[in-house]
Amino acid sequence: MRVLQVVAELGTGGAEAVVLGLAEGMASRGHRTWVASDRGWRVPLLAEVPGVDHVRVPLAPGGPVALAASAARLLAWAPGRPVDIVHAHNIRATLAAHPVARARRAPLVTTVHGLGAQDYPRAVRVLRRCSDLVVAVSDAVAEDLERAGLPKARIRVVENSVSAPAVRPDDAAHLPDLPHLPASGPIVLCAARMTAQKRQDLLLRGWAAREHRTGHLLLAGDGPERPRHEALARELGLGADVTFLGDRDDVGALLGRADLLALPSDWEGLPIGVLEALAADVPVLASAVGGLPDLDDVLALVPSDGDDRELGERWGRALDRELAGTAGQEQRQRTARGRALVDTRFSPDRMVEAYLALDEALVTSTYR
């Protein structure tokens, strides 16, 4: 099978990790794969995979100009390249991929990795017009799509997958050099792009609201909200207790230094970062959104309703609870269950085989 995957960029993010995992898994099974995206630190990783090529499209910037340029670039690339199926990740990539899918008479599959509640109606209008089949990364995302008007018959659920990080927590020789960290006290990591969705501001407010002011907060990621978060950290007087690391390609190593992963998002589908933490035996504290409540047996969850003040205080109490010495036994039990869950339910082979089954059914049927 010959597959074209389209994603906005290939930097830090769950959709980006899924694209790389699918490309590697499909290539290892003998399928020819192209990945179209803008730049990102994962692009060089594609060059290491036989049978996978990268197609540069300027899709990362917002707005119609970049979108139209990306669609035109794909149309110019397509002649002479027989593509059996086009697989877009999220709505913007779907709009860029739709013309080339129709030009090649190839089915278009869209994976929705999660959306804000206000974005589902518009997204469904695009999906109804452009996509032959829509994959939701969790039951919660599938329910939101159906509620917004996408027929259930056009939705399938394929959960994301994760491999164990390359660096394990006990592999101290390969941990990143972070000499500014305190010699003692818990390390909390938030690894996510700094966008409005991820709500690092709630984590900063929670960090300031803690009763027990020990430990260090690492914020890995970059994005449009970073200046605002840095200003908030100064306003809250957090000083040397918080480090902004910028975009990182060594999250596995950072997990090796972390005692807790925190993810305070407003919405999620099924975040790869949480699965990576579970695979690394790192406890997780996250907002109760998207597909995460389905994993409540292995996570500590923070209710997501309320105003910013209430949510910040709630995160402060949750951080105190998770970082207290008395939480150790419960956390060990959760992380043990989480690692077992990753090994069975979220294995890369399971995800790749599920997508291939959908792709093959579309290519060999009269679905359209």
For 228-251, the pLDDT digits (tens) are 999 999 999 998 899 999 988 888
Could you give the CA distance from residue 14 to residue 162 in angstroms, rounded to a whole number? Answer: 10
Could you give the CA distance from residue 224 to residue 236 in angstroms, rounded to a whole number? Answer: 20
pLDDT confidence band for 171 (50 / 70 / 90):
very low
164 vs 64, which has greater pLDDT?
A: 64
- pLDDT tens for 1-54 read 999 999 999 988 889 999 999 999 999 999 999 999 999 889 999 989 999 999
Question: Which residues neighbour 165 within 8 Å (Cβ) at sequence distance 6 or greater?
Answer: 251, 252, 253, 255, 256, 276, 279, 280
For the packed helices 91-103 and 64-77, what is the interaxial angle rounded to 10 degrees?
Answer: 30
Neighbours of 368 (CB within 10 A): 9
- For the chain, the C-alpha Rg in angstroms (whole number) is 21
Q: pLDDT value at position 326?
A: 60
Q: For the chain, list the domains and their CATH numbers.
A: 2-161+347-364 (3.40.50.2000), 172-345 (3.40.50.2000)
| Beta sheet of 2-6, edge-to-edge order | 52-56, 32-37, 2-6, 85-89, 108-112, 133-136, 155-157
- pLDDT tens for 299-337 read 999 999 989 999 999 999 999 999 986 667 888 889 999
Nearest 5°: CA angle at 175, between 18 and 45? 35
As given in the structure block, the two tokens for residue 53 are: 């090529």
Tracing tokens 């790749």 back to the chain, one arrives at: 352
> Would you say 332 and 259 are in contact if contact means Cβ atoms under 8 Å apart?
no
Q: State CA 79 to chain mean position distance.
A: 32
Q: pLDDT value at position 169?
A: 46
β-pair partners for 169: none
